[in-house]
Structure 1
Amino acid sequence: MAAENPALKGCQRLVVAHDLTCKTDGTVKQATVAPKKIVLFFVGGAGDKESYYGTGPNNNVADVLRIFVKNMEVEGICADNYDAHHIGYNYFFNDEDLKKNVLDKIADMTTPVYIVGHSLGGWNGAHLSAVLTDRGYRVSFLATLDPVGEGKIVWGISNIYRQEPKPKAEYWVNVRADAKDWNFSDLVADFGEQWDMKSGPNMNGRVDVNHADAGYIYTRALPSGKSARDVLMQSVVKHFKGRQCA
Protein backbone atom coordinates (compact mmCIF):
# COMPACT_ATOMS: atom_id res chain seq x y z
CA MET A 1 0.00 0.00 0.00
CA ALA A 2 1.42 3.44 -0.97
CA ALA A 3 2.38 5.75 1.88
CA GLU A 4 0.08 8.73 2.44
CA ASN A 5 1.45 12.12 1.40
CA PRO A 6 1.12 14.43 4.46
CA ALA A 7 0.96 17.51 2.17
CA LEU A 8 -2.27 16.15 0.71
CA LYS A 9 -4.09 15.56 3.99
CA GLY A 10 -7.66 16.70 3.55
CA CYS A 11 -7.51 16.73 -0.26
CA GLN A 12 -9.78 14.53 -2.35
CA ARG A 13 -8.35 11.65 -4.34
CA LEU A 14 -9.74 11.80 -7.89
CA VAL A 15 -7.90 8.78 -9.26
CA VAL A 16 -6.95 5.87 -7.06
CA ALA A 17 -3.32 5.70 -8.19
CA HIS A 18 -2.56 9.46 -8.38
CA ASP A 19 -2.67 12.29 -5.85
CA LEU A 20 -3.41 15.89 -6.90
CA THR A 21 -1.42 18.74 -5.43
CA CYS A 22 -3.49 20.26 -2.68
CA LYS A 23 -4.49 23.95 -3.01
CA THR A 24 -2.93 24.55 0.38
CA ASP A 25 0.44 23.15 -0.75
CA GLY A 26 2.50 26.27 -1.53
CA THR A 27 5.82 24.53 -2.11
CA VAL A 28 7.62 25.44 -5.38
CA LYS A 29 7.60 22.67 -7.95
CA GLN A 30 10.34 22.51 -10.60
CA ALA A 31 9.96 20.95 -14.03
CA THR A 32 12.65 20.51 -16.65
CA VAL A 33 11.62 21.93 -20.03
CA ALA A 34 13.88 21.24 -22.98
CA PRO A 35 14.55 24.23 -25.29
CA LYS A 36 12.81 24.01 -28.64
CA LYS A 37 14.73 22.78 -31.64
CA ILE A 38 15.74 25.62 -33.95
CA VAL A 39 15.78 25.76 -37.74
CA LEU A 40 18.22 27.71 -39.90
CA PHE A 41 18.13 28.64 -43.57
CA PHE A 42 21.40 29.54 -45.28
CA VAL A 43 20.30 31.25 -48.48
CA GLY A 44 22.78 31.38 -51.32
CA GLY A 45 22.99 33.97 -54.06
CA ALA A 46 23.43 33.75 -57.83
CA GLY A 47 25.49 30.74 -58.86
CA ASP A 48 25.62 29.43 -55.29
CA LYS A 49 23.25 26.47 -54.96
CA GLU A 50 22.88 25.99 -58.70
CA SER A 51 24.29 27.30 -61.96
CA TYR A 52 23.46 30.90 -62.84
CA TYR A 53 23.81 31.61 -66.57
CA GLY A 54 26.79 29.29 -66.85
CA THR A 55 28.44 30.25 -63.55
CA GLY A 56 28.56 27.94 -60.54
CA PRO A 57 27.39 26.32 -58.45
CA ASN A 58 29.99 27.86 -56.13
CA ASN A 59 28.38 27.03 -52.75
CA ASN A 60 29.58 30.29 -51.20
CA VAL A 61 27.07 30.29 -48.35
CA ALA A 62 27.86 26.63 -47.66
CA ASP A 63 31.09 27.95 -46.12
CA VAL A 64 28.96 29.85 -43.62
CA LEU A 65 26.98 26.71 -42.83
CA ARG A 66 30.19 24.75 -42.21
CA ILE A 67 31.43 27.46 -39.85
CA PHE A 68 28.13 27.35 -37.98
CA VAL A 69 28.28 23.57 -37.55
CA LYS A 70 31.85 23.78 -36.21
CA ASN A 71 30.86 26.53 -33.79
CA MET A 72 27.97 24.41 -32.52
CA GLU A 73 30.38 21.53 -31.93
CA VAL A 74 32.67 23.85 -29.96
CA GLU A 75 29.71 24.97 -27.85
CA GLY A 76 28.81 21.32 -27.25
CA ILE A 77 25.32 21.70 -28.73
CA CYS A 78 24.24 18.46 -30.37
CA ALA A 79 23.24 18.33 -34.03
CA ASP A 80 19.81 16.93 -33.12
CA ASN A 81 18.97 20.30 -31.52
CA TYR A 82 18.85 22.09 -34.86
CA ASP A 83 18.03 21.66 -38.54
CA ALA A 84 20.17 23.65 -40.97
CA HIS A 85 19.27 23.94 -44.64
CA HIS A 86 21.31 25.32 -47.54
CA ILE A 87 18.85 26.70 -50.09
CA GLY A 88 18.98 28.90 -53.16
CA TYR A 89 17.68 32.45 -53.32
CA ASN A 90 14.90 31.31 -55.69
CA TYR A 91 13.73 28.35 -53.57
CA PHE A 92 10.74 30.17 -52.04
CA PHE A 93 9.68 32.60 -54.75
CA ASN A 94 6.21 31.09 -55.15
CA ASP A 95 3.80 29.51 -52.67
CA GLU A 96 4.52 25.93 -53.75
CA ASP A 97 8.28 26.30 -53.34
CA LEU A 98 7.84 28.25 -50.11
CA LYS A 99 5.87 25.37 -48.61
CA LYS A 100 8.20 22.65 -49.84
CA ASN A 101 11.53 24.29 -49.12
CA VAL A 102 10.75 26.41 -46.07
CA LEU A 103 7.41 25.96 -44.31
CA ASP A 104 7.58 22.15 -44.31
CA LYS A 105 10.99 22.41 -42.61
CA ILE A 106 9.63 24.37 -39.64
CA ALA A 107 8.03 22.28 -36.90
CA ASP A 108 5.52 24.89 -35.75
CA MET A 109 5.03 28.64 -35.48
CA THR A 110 6.89 28.86 -32.17
CA THR A 111 10.05 27.31 -33.61
CA PRO A 112 12.90 29.86 -33.63
CA VAL A 113 13.92 30.53 -37.24
CA TYR A 114 17.34 31.87 -38.23
CA ILE A 115 18.00 33.20 -41.74
CA VAL A 116 21.46 33.90 -43.15
CA GLY A 117 21.42 35.17 -46.73
CA HIS A 118 24.28 36.13 -49.04
CA SER A 119 24.11 38.31 -52.18
CA LEU A 120 20.74 37.73 -53.91
CA GLY A 121 20.06 35.36 -51.01
CA GLY A 122 20.45 38.29 -48.63
CA TRP A 123 17.89 40.31 -50.59
CA ASN A 124 15.37 37.46 -50.87
CA GLY A 125 16.20 36.20 -47.37
CA ALA A 126 15.25 39.61 -45.99
CA HIS A 127 11.91 39.29 -47.79
CA LEU A 128 11.54 35.76 -46.40
CA SER A 129 11.84 37.10 -42.86
CA ALA A 130 8.83 39.32 -43.49
CA VAL A 131 6.85 36.57 -45.24
CA LEU A 132 7.33 34.20 -42.31
CA THR A 133 6.61 36.82 -39.66
CA ASP A 134 3.44 37.90 -41.42
CA ARG A 135 2.31 34.26 -41.41
CA GLY A 136 2.81 34.04 -37.66
CA TYR A 137 6.25 32.39 -37.51
CA ARG A 138 9.00 33.52 -35.16
CA VAL A 139 12.10 34.84 -36.94
CA SER A 140 14.72 35.11 -34.20
CA PHE A 141 17.62 36.28 -36.34
CA LEU A 142 18.40 37.60 -39.81
CA ALA A 143 21.85 38.15 -41.31
CA THR A 144 22.18 39.77 -44.72
CA LEU A 145 25.70 39.28 -46.04
CA ASP A 146 26.42 41.84 -48.77
CA PRO A 147 22.83 41.70 -50.08
CA VAL A 148 22.34 42.44 -53.78
CA GLY A 149 19.17 43.12 -55.73
CA GLU A 150 18.53 46.81 -56.35
CA GLY A 151 19.54 46.73 -60.03
CA LYS A 152 16.71 46.71 -62.57
CA ILE A 153 18.63 44.40 -64.90
CA VAL A 154 19.06 41.71 -62.25
CA TRP A 155 15.31 41.90 -61.57
CA GLY A 156 14.67 40.92 -65.15
CA ILE A 157 16.93 37.87 -65.18
CA SER A 158 16.51 36.53 -61.63
CA ASN A 159 13.63 35.33 -59.46
CA ILE A 160 13.93 38.03 -56.84
CA TYR A 161 11.44 40.38 -55.25
CA ARG A 162 11.33 43.76 -56.96
CA GLN A 163 10.40 45.84 -53.95
CA GLU A 164 13.05 46.81 -51.44
CA PRO A 165 12.84 44.33 -48.53
CA LYS A 166 11.24 45.30 -45.25
CA PRO A 167 12.71 42.67 -42.93
CA LYS A 168 10.94 41.49 -39.80
CA ALA A 169 13.17 39.71 -37.31
CA GLU A 170 13.94 39.94 -33.62
CA TYR A 171 17.52 40.89 -34.52
CA TRP A 172 18.99 41.87 -37.88
CA VAL A 173 22.67 42.14 -38.80
CA ASN A 174 23.71 43.55 -42.16
CA VAL A 175 27.27 43.35 -43.43
CA ARG A 176 28.40 45.19 -46.57
CA ALA A 177 31.45 43.81 -48.42
CA ASP A 178 33.66 46.78 -49.26
CA ALA A 179 36.91 45.29 -50.53
CA LYS A 180 39.78 47.64 -51.27
CA ASP A 181 41.23 45.11 -53.68
CA TRP A 182 38.38 44.25 -56.08
CA ASN A 183 37.97 40.97 -57.91
CA PHE A 184 35.43 39.64 -60.40
CA SER A 185 32.83 38.84 -57.71
CA ASP A 186 32.78 42.49 -56.67
CA LEU A 187 32.08 43.51 -60.26
CA VAL A 188 29.16 41.05 -60.31
CA ALA A 189 27.81 42.51 -57.06
CA ASP A 190 28.18 46.00 -58.48
CA PHE A 191 26.22 44.91 -61.57
CA GLY A 192 23.39 43.56 -59.39
CA GLU A 193 23.64 46.65 -57.18
CA GLN A 194 24.33 46.11 -53.51
CA TRP A 195 21.51 47.00 -51.16
CA ASP A 196 22.75 49.98 -49.20
CA MET A 197 19.96 50.52 -46.67
CA LYS A 198 20.05 53.68 -44.61
CA SER A 199 18.29 52.28 -41.53
CA GLY A 200 16.74 49.11 -40.16
CA PRO A 201 19.45 46.68 -39.00
CA ASN A 202 20.22 46.36 -35.31
CA MET A 203 23.86 46.10 -36.36
CA ASN A 204 25.20 47.39 -39.67
CA GLY A 205 28.68 47.88 -41.06
CA ARG A 206 31.27 47.30 -43.76
CA VAL A 207 34.19 44.91 -43.97
CA ASP A 208 37.21 44.78 -46.28
CA VAL A 209 36.22 41.47 -47.89
CA ASN A 210 35.40 40.45 -51.46
CA HIS A 211 31.77 39.78 -52.30
CA ALA A 212 32.18 36.05 -52.98
CA ASP A 213 33.83 35.33 -49.62
CA ALA A 214 30.63 34.76 -47.66
CA GLY A 215 32.45 32.98 -44.84
CA TYR A 216 34.73 35.95 -44.23
CA ILE A 217 31.84 38.42 -44.47
CA TYR A 218 30.09 36.33 -41.80
CA THR A 219 33.06 36.13 -39.42
CA ARG A 220 34.79 39.49 -39.88
CA ALA A 221 34.19 41.89 -37.00
CA LEU A 222 32.27 45.09 -37.67
CA PRO A 223 33.24 48.43 -36.06
CA SER A 224 31.13 47.40 -33.06
CA GLY A 225 33.69 44.67 -32.40
CA LYS A 226 31.28 41.82 -33.15
CA SER A 227 30.66 39.82 -36.31
CA ALA A 228 27.42 38.40 -37.67
CA ARG A 229 28.70 35.01 -36.48
CA ASP A 230 29.20 36.34 -32.95
CA VAL A 231 25.65 37.67 -32.71
CA LEU A 232 24.07 34.54 -34.18
CA MET A 233 25.97 32.23 -31.82
CA GLN A 234 25.15 34.39 -28.79
CA SER A 235 21.47 34.07 -29.70
CA VAL A 236 21.71 30.31 -30.16
CA VAL A 237 23.67 29.69 -26.95
CA LYS A 238 21.23 31.87 -25.00
CA HIS A 239 18.31 29.88 -26.45
CA PHE A 240 19.79 26.58 -25.29
CA LYS A 241 20.82 28.11 -21.93
CA GLY A 242 24.11 26.22 -21.79
CA ARG A 243 22.47 22.87 -22.47
CA GLN A 244 25.06 20.56 -24.00
CA CYS A 245 25.25 17.06 -25.39
CA ALA A 246 24.89 14.27 -22.86
Structure 2
Amino acid sequence: MDNVIDANKDIKKQATELLKKAHGKVSNVPPVIPVKLTTYTHSLTIFIGGAADKYVFTPGDVPVGWGDFRPIGPTYFVGNYVNNYFATIKGGSKNAFVKYYGYEEAYVSDTRELTVNTNKDKKLNAFNDVKNFLKTYPQTQVNIVGHSLGGWNAAGLAEILHKNNICKVNVLITIDPVGEILSKIGLGSRTSIYYSRPKPVFNLWISISCDPKSYEWNNDLIADLGGQWSSYPSSNSSYYYVTRYSHADFRLMMQEKIVNNLSVQDILSKELSRIK
Protein backbone atom coordinates (compact mmCIF):
# COMPACT_ATOMS: atom_id res chain seq x y z
CA MET A 1 0.00 0.00 0.00
CA ASP A 2 3.07 2.23 0.10
CA ASN A 3 2.52 3.12 -3.59
CA VAL A 4 -1.02 4.47 -3.03
CA ILE A 5 -1.23 8.16 -3.94
CA ASP A 6 -3.17 10.51 -1.67
CA ALA A 7 -5.07 12.44 -4.39
CA ASN A 8 -6.56 14.94 -1.97
CA LYS A 9 -3.14 15.77 -0.57
CA ASP A 10 -1.72 16.24 -4.07
CA ILE A 11 -4.59 18.54 -5.10
CA LYS A 12 -4.14 20.64 -1.96
CA LYS A 13 -0.42 20.95 -2.70
CA GLN A 14 -1.05 22.12 -6.29
CA ALA A 15 -3.66 24.60 -5.10
CA THR A 16 -1.20 26.01 -2.56
CA GLU A 17 1.44 26.49 -5.26
CA LEU A 18 -1.06 28.28 -7.52
CA LEU A 19 -2.04 30.61 -4.70
CA LYS A 20 1.61 31.42 -4.06
CA LYS A 21 2.12 32.30 -7.73
CA ALA A 22 -1.03 34.44 -7.80
CA HIS A 23 -0.21 36.26 -4.59
CA GLY A 24 -0.36 40.00 -5.13
CA LYS A 25 -2.24 39.65 -8.41
CA VAL A 26 -5.69 38.62 -7.22
CA SER A 27 -7.62 41.05 -5.06
CA ASN A 28 -9.91 39.93 -2.34
CA VAL A 29 -13.61 40.47 -3.05
CA PRO A 30 -14.65 43.56 -1.08
CA PRO A 31 -17.44 43.16 1.42
CA VAL A 32 -20.91 44.19 0.30
CA ILE A 33 -21.89 47.41 2.06
CA PRO A 34 -25.63 47.97 2.16
CA VAL A 35 -26.82 51.35 0.87
CA LYS A 36 -28.97 53.19 3.35
CA LEU A 37 -31.61 55.28 1.60
CA THR A 38 -33.06 58.22 3.48
CA THR A 39 -36.82 58.05 3.78
CA TYR A 40 -38.46 61.42 4.21
CA THR A 41 -41.93 61.83 5.65
CA HIS A 42 -42.02 65.64 5.37
CA SER A 43 -40.21 68.47 3.65
CA LEU A 44 -39.56 72.04 4.75
CA THR A 45 -38.49 74.43 2.02
CA ILE A 46 -37.20 77.82 3.12
CA PHE A 47 -37.19 80.79 0.74
CA ILE A 48 -35.01 83.74 1.76
CA GLY A 49 -35.41 87.13 0.10
CA GLY A 50 -32.67 89.69 -0.36
CA ALA A 51 -32.42 93.30 0.72
CA ALA A 52 -35.83 95.01 0.73
CA ASP A 53 -37.61 91.85 -0.36
CA LYS A 54 -39.72 91.20 2.75
CA TYR A 55 -38.86 94.32 4.76
CA VAL A 56 -38.02 97.90 3.84
CA PHE A 57 -34.26 98.46 3.79
CA THR A 58 -34.36 101.29 6.34
CA PRO A 59 -33.83 101.55 10.09
CA GLY A 60 -37.08 100.69 11.83
CA ASP A 61 -38.50 99.23 8.60
CA VAL A 62 -40.04 102.64 7.87
CA PRO A 63 -41.65 102.63 4.40
CA VAL A 64 -40.39 105.17 1.87
CA GLY A 65 -42.40 106.32 -1.16
CA TRP A 66 -46.08 106.18 -1.99
CA GLY A 67 -48.47 103.88 -3.83
CA ASP A 68 -46.53 101.40 -5.95
CA PHE A 69 -43.43 103.60 -5.87
CA ARG A 70 -41.27 101.95 -3.19
CA PRO A 71 -37.63 102.63 -4.10
CA ILE A 72 -36.24 100.65 -1.17
CA GLY A 73 -38.90 98.02 -0.84
CA PRO A 74 -40.49 95.85 0.00
CA THR A 75 -40.33 94.26 -3.46
CA TYR A 76 -41.56 90.75 -2.60
CA PHE A 77 -39.62 89.23 -5.51
CA VAL A 78 -39.24 86.02 -3.54
CA GLY A 79 -42.45 86.34 -1.54
CA ASN A 80 -44.62 86.68 -4.64
CA TYR A 81 -42.84 83.75 -6.27
CA VAL A 82 -43.61 81.53 -3.28
CA ASN A 83 -47.26 82.58 -3.28
CA ASN A 84 -47.68 82.02 -7.01
CA TYR A 85 -45.61 78.91 -7.70
CA PHE A 86 -44.99 76.76 -4.64
CA ALA A 87 -48.31 74.92 -5.01
CA THR A 88 -47.14 73.84 -8.46
CA ILE A 89 -43.68 72.92 -7.20
CA LYS A 90 -44.91 70.64 -4.44
CA GLY A 91 -47.47 68.94 -6.68
CA GLY A 92 -49.25 66.17 -4.83
CA SER A 93 -46.90 66.13 -1.85
CA LYS A 94 -49.25 66.71 1.09
CA ASN A 95 -46.44 66.97 3.64
CA ALA A 96 -44.40 69.57 1.76
CA PHE A 97 -44.25 72.78 3.80
CA VAL A 98 -42.82 76.18 2.92
CA LYS A 99 -41.76 79.32 4.81
CA TYR A 100 -40.70 82.72 3.50
CA TYR A 101 -38.08 84.85 5.28
CA GLY A 102 -36.25 88.09 4.86
CA TYR A 103 -32.47 87.70 4.74
CA GLU A 104 -32.39 89.28 8.22
CA GLU A 105 -34.31 86.30 9.60
CA ALA A 106 -31.80 83.75 8.33
CA TYR A 107 -28.79 85.22 10.13
CA VAL A 108 -28.19 84.26 13.74
CA SER A 109 -25.33 84.88 16.15
CA ASP A 110 -23.11 82.28 17.79
CA THR A 111 -25.76 82.03 20.52
CA ARG A 112 -28.35 81.32 17.82
CA GLU A 113 -30.13 84.57 18.53
CA LEU A 114 -31.54 86.77 15.79
CA THR A 115 -29.23 89.78 15.61
CA VAL A 116 -31.23 92.32 13.63
CA ASN A 117 -32.07 95.27 15.86
CA THR A 118 -35.02 96.73 13.93
CA ASN A 119 -38.43 95.41 15.02
CA LYS A 120 -36.71 92.31 16.33
CA ASP A 121 -39.81 91.11 18.15
CA LYS A 122 -41.67 90.89 14.83
CA LYS A 123 -39.00 88.91 13.02
CA LEU A 124 -38.89 85.15 12.44
CA ASN A 125 -35.83 83.01 13.22
CA ALA A 126 -35.17 80.50 10.45
CA PHE A 127 -32.60 78.54 12.46
CA ASN A 128 -34.99 77.96 15.35
CA ASP A 129 -37.87 77.21 13.00
CA VAL A 130 -35.91 74.42 11.29
CA LYS A 131 -34.74 73.02 14.61
CA ASN A 132 -38.27 72.97 16.04
CA PHE A 133 -39.77 71.49 12.87
CA LEU A 134 -37.27 68.62 12.99
CA LYS A 135 -38.14 67.95 16.62
CA THR A 136 -41.71 67.33 15.55
CA TYR A 137 -40.90 65.60 12.24
CA PRO A 138 -37.39 64.09 12.47
CA GLN A 139 -37.45 62.63 8.95
CA THR A 140 -37.76 65.99 7.23
CA GLN A 141 -36.11 66.95 3.95
CA VAL A 142 -34.83 70.51 4.42
CA ASN A 143 -34.32 72.65 1.31
CA ILE A 144 -33.16 76.28 1.23
CA VAL A 145 -33.54 78.80 -1.60
CA GLY A 146 -32.01 82.27 -1.31
CA HIS A 147 -31.74 85.35 -3.52
CA SER A 148 -29.17 88.16 -3.34
CA LEU A 149 -28.23 88.75 0.34
CA GLY A 150 -30.65 85.93 1.02
CA GLY A 151 -28.45 83.66 -1.11
CA TRP A 152 -25.41 84.46 1.04
CA ASN A 153 -27.42 83.87 4.22
CA ALA A 154 -28.99 80.71 2.77
CA ALA A 155 -25.49 79.24 2.41
CA GLY A 156 -24.56 80.47 5.89
CA LEU A 157 -27.69 78.93 7.37
CA ALA A 158 -26.92 75.60 5.68
CA GLU A 159 -23.46 75.73 7.25
CA ILE A 160 -24.59 76.44 10.83
CA LEU A 161 -27.44 73.92 10.69
CA HIS A 162 -24.86 71.23 9.98
CA LYS A 163 -22.32 72.56 12.50
CA ASN A 164 -24.97 72.39 15.21
CA ASN A 165 -26.01 68.85 14.26
CA ILE A 166 -29.49 70.01 13.31
CA CYS A 167 -29.51 68.67 9.77
CA LYS A 168 -27.70 68.44 6.47
CA VAL A 169 -29.54 70.53 3.90
CA ASN A 170 -30.85 68.44 1.04
CA VAL A 171 -31.05 71.03 -1.77
CA LEU A 172 -29.45 74.47 -1.54
CA ILE A 173 -30.28 76.97 -4.29
CA THR A 174 -28.54 80.36 -4.37
CA ILE A 175 -29.82 82.83 -6.97
CA ASP A 176 -27.23 85.54 -7.73
CA PRO A 177 -25.92 85.55 -4.15
CA VAL A 178 -24.46 88.82 -2.87
CA GLY A 179 -22.36 89.60 0.21
CA GLU A 180 -18.64 89.62 -0.58
CA ILE A 181 -18.34 93.36 0.02
CA LEU A 182 -21.28 94.12 2.27
CA SER A 183 -20.31 91.44 4.77
CA LYS A 184 -17.05 93.29 5.42
CA ILE A 185 -18.14 96.93 5.48
CA GLY A 186 -21.58 96.59 7.10
CA LEU A 187 -24.33 99.14 7.30
CA GLY A 188 -25.20 99.14 10.97
CA SER A 189 -28.04 97.04 12.25
CA ARG A 190 -29.63 96.54 8.80
CA THR A 191 -26.79 94.40 7.49
CA SER A 192 -27.49 91.11 9.20
CA ILE A 193 -25.36 88.79 7.09
CA TYR A 194 -22.58 86.34 7.91
CA TYR A 195 -19.18 88.01 8.14
CA SER A 196 -17.18 85.00 7.00
CA ARG A 197 -17.70 83.50 3.57
CA PRO A 198 -20.16 80.63 4.04
CA LYS A 199 -19.05 77.05 3.47
CA PRO A 200 -22.37 75.24 3.28
CA VAL A 201 -22.88 71.50 3.72
CA PHE A 202 -25.47 69.98 1.40
CA ASN A 203 -26.54 67.04 -0.71
CA LEU A 204 -27.03 69.22 -3.80
CA TRP A 205 -26.12 72.87 -4.34
CA ILE A 206 -27.08 74.83 -7.44
CA SER A 207 -25.84 78.40 -7.73
CA ILE A 208 -26.72 80.92 -10.44
CA SER A 209 -24.88 84.19 -11.08
CA CYS A 210 -25.99 87.09 -13.28
CA ASP A 211 -24.11 88.51 -16.24
CA PRO A 212 -27.02 90.51 -17.68
CA LYS A 213 -27.30 91.35 -21.36
CA SER A 214 -28.92 94.68 -20.43
CA TYR A 215 -27.51 96.24 -17.28
CA GLU A 216 -30.18 97.68 -14.96
CA TRP A 217 -28.61 100.25 -12.65
CA ASN A 218 -31.36 100.02 -10.01
CA ASN A 219 -30.93 96.25 -9.72
CA ASP A 220 -27.59 95.07 -11.09
CA LEU A 221 -25.59 98.02 -9.75
CA ILE A 222 -27.01 97.54 -6.27
CA ALA A 223 -26.10 93.86 -6.44
CA ASP A 224 -22.56 94.72 -7.56
CA LEU A 225 -22.14 97.18 -4.70
CA GLY A 226 -23.01 94.39 -2.28
CA GLY A 227 -20.39 92.15 -3.88
CA GLN A 228 -21.56 89.32 -6.12
CA TRP A 229 -20.54 85.99 -4.58
CA SER A 230 -19.36 83.75 -7.37
CA SER A 231 -15.80 82.54 -6.75
CA TYR A 232 -16.62 79.96 -4.05
CA PRO A 233 -19.93 78.75 -5.55
CA SER A 234 -18.37 78.35 -9.01
CA SER A 235 -15.84 75.84 -7.68
CA ASN A 236 -17.72 74.23 -4.79
CA SER A 237 -21.37 73.95 -5.79
CA SER A 238 -22.76 70.85 -7.48
CA TYR A 239 -23.80 72.91 -10.49
CA TYR A 240 -22.92 76.53 -11.30
CA TYR A 241 -24.58 78.53 -14.04
CA VAL A 242 -24.20 82.07 -15.40
CA THR A 243 -27.43 83.61 -16.69
CA ARG A 244 -28.10 86.65 -18.88
CA TYR A 245 -31.02 87.75 -16.71
CA SER A 246 -30.77 90.72 -14.37
CA HIS A 247 -30.43 90.51 -10.62
CA ALA A 248 -34.10 91.26 -9.95
CA ASP A 249 -35.37 88.49 -12.26
CA PHE A 250 -35.70 85.91 -9.50
CA ARG A 251 -38.66 84.07 -11.01
CA LEU A 252 -37.08 83.88 -14.46
CA MET A 253 -33.86 82.46 -13.03
CA MET A 254 -35.80 79.86 -11.03
CA GLN A 255 -37.58 78.77 -14.22
CA GLU A 256 -34.73 78.97 -16.75
CA LYS A 257 -33.71 75.59 -18.19
CA ILE A 258 -30.08 75.14 -17.19
CA VAL A 259 -29.19 71.43 -16.95
CA ASN A 260 -30.64 68.45 -18.82
CA ASN A 261 -33.53 70.71 -19.88
CA LEU A 262 -34.44 71.22 -16.22
CA SER A 263 -34.76 74.45 -14.25
CA VAL A 264 -33.93 74.74 -10.57
CA GLN A 265 -37.68 74.90 -10.02
CA ASP A 266 -38.01 71.53 -11.80
CA ILE A 267 -35.20 70.04 -9.73
CA LEU A 268 -36.74 71.24 -6.48
CA SER A 269 -40.10 69.83 -7.56
CA LYS A 270 -38.52 66.43 -8.25
CA GLU A 271 -37.03 66.41 -4.76
CA LEU A 272 -40.38 67.24 -3.18
CA SER A 273 -42.00 64.40 -5.13
CA ARG A 274 -40.05 62.02 -2.86
CA ILE A 275 -42.34 63.08 -0.01
CA LYS A 276 -45.42 60.89 -0.04
In the alignment, is residue 148 of structure 1 matched against residue 178 of structure 2? yes
Which structure's CA Rg is the greater one? 2
Greater displacement, 88-97 / 142-151: 88-97
Q: Which among 232, 243, 251 is matched to residue 207 of structure 1?
A: 243
* Letter paired with 2:261: G
- Cα displacement (A) at 1:102: 3.8
- Cα displacement (A) at 1:109: 4.7
What is the aligned partner in structure 1 of residue 222 from structure 2? 188
Give distance in 1, aligned partners of 2:239 and 2:143.
Answer: 16
Q: Alpha carbons of 1:108 and 1:131: their partners in 2 closer, same or farther (altered >3 Å)? A: farther
- Cα displacement (A) at 1:40: 1.0
In the alignment, is residue 104 of structure 1 matched against residue 132 of structure 2? yes
Provide the identity percentage: 31
Q: Which among 62, 67, 73 is matched to residue 56 of structure 1?
A: 73
Greater displacement, 158-167 / 118-127: 158-167
* Letter paired with 1:234: K
- Cα displacement (A) at 1:153: 7.1
Output aligned runs, 1:117-136, within 5 Å: 117-136=146-165
Q: Which among 76, 81, 99 is matched to residue 85 of structure 1?
A: 99
What is the aligned partner in structure 2 of residue 69 from structure 1? 87
Give distance in 2, aligned partners of 1:63 and 1:138.
Answer: 27
- Cα displacement (A) at 1:134: 1.8
Equivalent residues of 2:42, 2:137 under 8 A apart:
no
- Cα displacement (A) at 1:100: 4.2
Give distance in 2, aligned partners of 1:166 and 1:192.
Answer: 19
What is the aligned partner in structure 1 of residue 194 from structure 2? 161
- Cα displacement (A) at 1:212: 1.1
Secondary structure in structure 1 of the residue aligned to 2:106: coil
Unaligned 5+ runs, structure 2 = 1-38, 59-63, 65-71, 115-124
- Cα displacement (A) at 1:155: 4.2
* Letter paired with 1:127: G
TM-score, structure 2 length as denominator?
Answer: 0.68
Unaligned 5+ runs, structure 1 = 1-33
What is the aligned partner in structure 1 of residue 51 from structure 2? 46
Greater displacement, 175-184 / 101-110: 101-110
Q: Which among 255, 258, 272 is matched to residue 219 of structure 1?
A: 255
Equivalent residues of 2:183, 2:194 under 8 A apart:
no
What is the aligned partner in structure 2 of residue 231 from structure 1? 267
Give distance in 2, aligned partners of 1:224 and 1:204.
Answer: 13
Q: Alpha carbons of 1:76 and 1:181: their partners in 2 closer, same or farther (altered >3 Å)? A: same
Q: Alpha carbons of 1:190 and 1:140: their partners in 2 closer, same or farther (altered >3 Å)? A: same
* Letter paired with 2:93: I
The total of aligned residue pairs comes to 203
Equivalent residues of 1:48, 1:88 under 8 A apart:
yes
Equivalent residues of 2:89, 2:268 under 8 A apart:
no
Secondary structure in structure 1 of the residue aligned to 2:223: helix
Give distance in 2, aligned partners of 1:147 and 1:35.
Answer: 28
Give distance in 2, aligned partners of 1:200 and 1:128.
Answer: 16
What is the aligned partner in structure 2 of residue 7 from structure 1? none
Give distance in 1, aligned partners of 2:76 and 2:45.
Answer: 16
Equivalent residues of 2:40, 2:140 under 8 A apart:
no
Give distance in 1, aligned partners of 2:245 and 2:75.
Answer: 17
* Letter paired with 1:149: G
Higher normalized contact order (CA 8 Å, seq sep 6+, divided by chain length): 2
* Letter paired with 1:76: G
